[in-house]
Structure 1
Amino acid sequence: MSSLFDIAGRRALVTGSSRGIGFALARALAEAGAEVILNARNAAALDAARTRLQQVASAPVHTAPFDVTDEDDVRRAIGDLGAVDILVNNAGMQRRAPFPDFATTDFDALLATNVRSVFLVSREVSRAMIERSAGKIITICSVQSELARPGIAPYSATKGAVRMLVKGMCADLGPHGIQVNGLAPGYFSTELTQALVADEQFTEWVRTRTPAGRWGQVEDLAGTLLWLASPASDFVNGQTIFVDGGMTAVL
């Protein structure tokens, strides 16, 4: 059975992976034997992340600094990378404001980073996957793909769009042997959410709202990621798997 989860030697590109959840996902793939390609816009941050990751990786770790929202940059970078067996669309951003006060520029930035990037990178990577009749595309969604909270309506809209993009890509790419699925974290404690974790009132809300009674830890994502990246999920397509401690299952 272990061969079903074997991804040793596969080449995996993880966008937005110099820190936070993206780095944790890249680490899980590297520890499982995949050849990982880290991506972000900041080359120095990527080099630092590669140094950290190479300490636990059994295969080479590479960096690919490019802007996932820029069509020409994406096309150039993916062309230079060569074959990618596993794509993890992780790059994303958040903006908060009451809906009447939400700036159009912030809305446009959310669309570009959270939706346009998934479209651009997946489109370029999928072309070579089609030629090989194999590939895994995993897109990081969110509990906000299903639920909404005050102050983040545009963010929720982008994550809902990404969830439907996963289904649409499944319809187009599934016949070519490519599996496209979403991985939707709940509320996770990372370096980017420390202000929320430190907010006792908000943390209490997370604990009472989540049947598991706690914040997620990045290690909680590893098992689902490796399943979606491996042959074990070859008949799973177009799905969004919520890793949220049960939050979306209860009122």
Structure 2
Amino acid sequence: MTLLDGKNAIVYGAAGRIGTAVATAFAGEGARVFLAGRTRARLEEVAARIREDGGRAETAVVDALDERAVDEHAAAVAAEGGIDVSVNLIPHGDVQGTPLVDMALADYERPVVTAVRTQFLTARAAARHMIARRSGAILFFGGAAEPLREFEVGGLQVAFHAVEAMRRQLAAELGPHGIRTVTLRTGGIPETLPEDFAGRAELTENIAGKTMLGRAATLADVGAVAAFVASDRAASMTAATVNISCGALVD
């Protein structure tokens, strides 16, 4: 039996590189994946590849900043057999490479507002349906971290810390209903860097150089760990951060 056999999983931001990796891993472990995002064509491409590999995938255009859209989509998925897993991998729209003293307020606060709003709406929508079933896993991505000396990341770290505070509170409130909340945390995934990014090689080397394994986490690593954490084999795991940084981050 596969890890997620018979489970329904919503993946927000499923057309992104991390979202695609997680959705593909979920489907490979037997889940029926509901791919949500804002660009139907890209979602359909991911769904087609999943189906070609024998998996089950459905798509829906959902703006995760839209409360009504998120709630209606969650209700539609719940009507298809319930929601077992929800993971939000929507980009935060952060601006990097600009010192904070030179950054516009809108650029600084955008990732914070986007992360908090979308994570709250998607987690709340899933939890409302999971409560009746007294089970479910809500996964987050990012995690709180120390300040970065080498890179200017704008409001991204603030967004991650805010989401971690939310995840901890959700763990406390949803735990009695059998619902788990877990954050997946990496030290950077070179595969997500744009091909035309001028500093790609340097940054890739920097990420790998900080690890204890001598390599950075891959998209396949993230997908594999996400599938395990979402499964019943991780049933005792909640209010936790899972470190998949290859030793770049030390607990």
Matches within 5 A, 1:136-175: 136-142=137-143, 145-149=144-148, 150-175=151-176
The residue correspondences of 1:8-23 to structure 2 (distance < 5 A) are: 8-23=5-20
Partner of 1:104: 105
Does 1:62 find its partner at 2:91?
Answer: no
Tell which deviates more after alignment, 23-32 or 74-83.
74-83
How far apart, CA to CA, are the structure 1 residues paired with 2:21 and 2:50?
10
* TM-score normalised over the length of structure 1: 0.90
- The answer for unaligned runs of 5 or more in structure 1 is none
**1:124 aligns to what SS in structure 2?**
helix
Q: How far apart, in 2, do the equivalents of 1:206 and 1:109 lie?
A: 25
What amino acid does structure 2 have at the position aligned with 1:204? E
Q: Is the 8 A contact 1:182 1:241 kept in 2?
A: yes
Letter in 2 for 1:54: R
Report if aligned partners of 1:16, 1:92 keep a CA contact under 8 Å in 2.
yes
**What residue in structure 1 maps to residue 86 of structure 2?**
87
Structure 2 residue 73 is matched with structure 1 residue 77: yes
Moved more, 184-193 or 151-160: 184-193
Q: 1:88 to 1:43 in 2, by over 3 A?
A: same
Q: Deviations over 1:46-87 (max 9, x none)?
A: 1122112211243x2101211111112212222222221100
Matched with 1:114 is 115
CA contact (8 A) 2:138 2:179 kept: yes
**Structure 2 unaligned regions, length at least 5:** none
Please name the residue that 2:29 is paired with.
32
In the TM superposition, what is the alpha-carbon distance from 1:196 to its structure 2 partner?
Answer: 5.5
- Helix, strand or coil: the match of 1:216? coil
Quick one: which amino acid aligns to residue 157 of structure 1? V
Distance in 1 between the 2:194 and 2:218 partners? 11
Larger proportion of helix: 1
1:104-158 CA-to-partner distances (Å, cap 9, x unmatched) read 222332123222111001101101100111111111124xx21222411410010
2:10–2:87 contact (8 Å) kept in structure 1: yes
SS in 2 for 1:87: strand
The root-mean-square deviation of aligned C-alpha atoms, in Å, is 1.9
Partner residue in 2 for 1:185: 186
CA distance in 1, matches of 2:200, 2:220: 22
How many pairs are equivalent? 244
Aligned to 2:124: 123
CA contact (8 A) 1:21 1:190 kept: no
Query: Normalization by structure 2: what TM-score?
Result: 0.90
Instruction: Give the AA of the match of 2:28.
Output: E
Distance 1:190 1:200 in 2: 11
Q: What amino acid is aligned across from residue 95 of structure 1 in structure 2?
A: V
Identity of aligned residues (%): 27
Letter in 1 for 2:173: D
